[in-house]
């Protein structure tokens, strides 16, 4: 199967197969954003399970209160991240990269900061924050860095039609792209041309008034022009259709756009693959061969292989199925499909993340009260 053949991402980094384990929140970091042994164990497990490249849960680039969110906002976080990469590389033959993120303030009172509230000075400091965080990631021994331009976070909203700023950072798509461009340029300068630098973006926001695939294709083309090494296509995850709960902060993964970000079992297989396929066609037609990664209800190796054989994407991002059984890639490759604990797309893992609890698959629960992932 092509799925299990080695793949070189944009001539820079060779991985064992066409499988990415994309970011999945673990809630295993400390409240100060520090790495823990349990968090390292989880990522080593994903690597041992056979994913070609593992992208960590989001890592904050800014010094701010952010709960159990990993951070690379200061040099003090480098040693912990080095512990992660050293164990990962020592115990697996997979690759690993952090997803770095800038996010806005949100409170249980109902307050939500938007990109329209940011001062010009706050916006202008963002490229350097990403650059320094990426530089720390390289020092810490990661194999690359992924910029988070998707879902409910700062850069995604700067790119969105929800950005109504009146200065050079808002209004037309060209202006909405400015900060994203500046982040890429600053980060590339910080890490060098030889270091893998990818991006995750929305193909469609699936929220009334937001970006559609029309804007998604234009954004992806510009990111390809800027020389990013891969484009990972996600969808949705917006605050605009979030379901409010009294006394709790808005959760951008509770509405329809959130379901498109993490498609539940009532949505069809490959529900978001067409977004990546359209983006891949667009950038290829323009003369760019930037690898495109797709995600969203790809439950089996056969479905993933179909995506690759159809030319809909260059890699597949398998999140919840690998959370359910971290050895999903290895077991499929070895013909042990009958041993796989298969994801049923119930999104109990998503509920745990929203409740700030350790994220596991509820199918790990044993009758004796123990909780552990499947055997190799």
3-state helix, strand, coil in the chain (%, to 5): 35, 15, 50
For 82, list phi and psi in degrees, rounded to 5.
-65, -40
* Two structure tokens written together for 372: 């552990």
For 87, list phi and psi in degrees, rounded to 5.
-70, -40
Residues forming beta bridges with residue 199, ordered by sequence position: 147, 231
For 294, list phi and psi in degrees, rounded to 5.
-120, 160
Answer whether 187's CB lies under 8 Å from 126's CB.
no
Q: What is the b/e burial string over 41-51, where b = at least 16 CB atoms within 10 angstroms of the residue's CB? A: ebbbbbbbbbb
Point out the catalytic residue in the list 43, 149, 153, 332: 153
DSSP letter assigned to residue 67:
S
Strands 95-101 and 53-60: parallel
Rounded to an integer, what is the distance from CA 139 to the centroid of its chain?
21
| Segment (H or E) for 353 | helix 348-354
For 261, list phi and psi in degrees, rounded to 5.
-75, -40
Task: Residue 26: name the closest of 364, 247, 367, 349 by CA.
Answer: 349
153 carries an active-site annotation? yes
For 268, list phi and psi in degrees, rounded to 5.
-70, 160
For 259, list phi and psi in degrees, rounded to 5.
-65, -35
Answer whether 115's CB lies under 8 Å from 87's CB.
no
List the catalytic residues. 153
């Amino acid at each position: 199967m092509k799925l299990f053949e080695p793949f070189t991402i944009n001539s820079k980094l060779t991985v064992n197969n066409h499988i990415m384990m994309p970011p999945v929140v673990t809630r295993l970091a400390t409240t100060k954003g520090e790495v823990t042994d349990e968090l390292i164990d989880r990522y080593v497990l994903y690597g041992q399970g056979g994913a070609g490249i593992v992208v960590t849960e989001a890592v904050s680039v800014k010094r701010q209160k952010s709960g159990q969110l990993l951070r690379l906002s200061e040099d003090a976080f480098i040693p912990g991240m080095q512990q992660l990469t050293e164990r990962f590389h020592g115990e697996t033959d997979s690759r690993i990269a952090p997803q770095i993120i800038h996010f806005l303030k949100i409170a249980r009172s109902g307050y939500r900061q938007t990109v329209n509230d940011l001062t010009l000075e706050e916006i202008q400091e963002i490229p350097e924050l990403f650059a320094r965080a990426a530089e720390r990631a390289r020092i810490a021994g990661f194999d690359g860095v992924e910029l988070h331009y998707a879902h409910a976070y700062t850069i995604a909203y700067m790119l969105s039609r929800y950005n109504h700023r009146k200065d050079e950072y808002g209004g037309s798509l060209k202006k909405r792209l400015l900060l994203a461009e500046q982040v890429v340029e600053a980060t590339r300068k910080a890490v060098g041309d030889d270091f893998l630098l990818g991006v995750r973006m929305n193909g469609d926001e699936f929220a009334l008034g937001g970006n559609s695939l029309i804007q998604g294709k234009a954004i992806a083309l510009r990111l390809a022009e800027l020389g990013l090494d891969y484009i990972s296509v996600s969808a949705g995850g917006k605050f605009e259709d979030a379901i409010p709960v009294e006394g709790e902060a808005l959760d951008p993964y509770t509405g329809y756009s959130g379901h498109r970000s993490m498609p539940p079992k009532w949505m069809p297989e490959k529900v978001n693959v067409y977004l990546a396929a359209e983006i891949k066609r667009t950038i290829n037609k323009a003369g760019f061969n930037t690898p495109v990664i797709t995600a969203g209800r790809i439950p089996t190796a056969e479905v993933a292989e179909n995506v690759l054989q159809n030319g809909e994407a260059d890699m597949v991002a398998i999140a919840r199925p690998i959370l359910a059984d971290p050895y999903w890639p290895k077991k499929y490759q070895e013909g042990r499909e009958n041993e796989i604990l298969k994801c049923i797309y119930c999104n109990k893992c998503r509920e745990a993340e929203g409740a700030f609890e350790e994220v596991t698959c509820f199918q790990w629960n044993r009758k004796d009260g123990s909780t552990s992932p499947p055997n190799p």
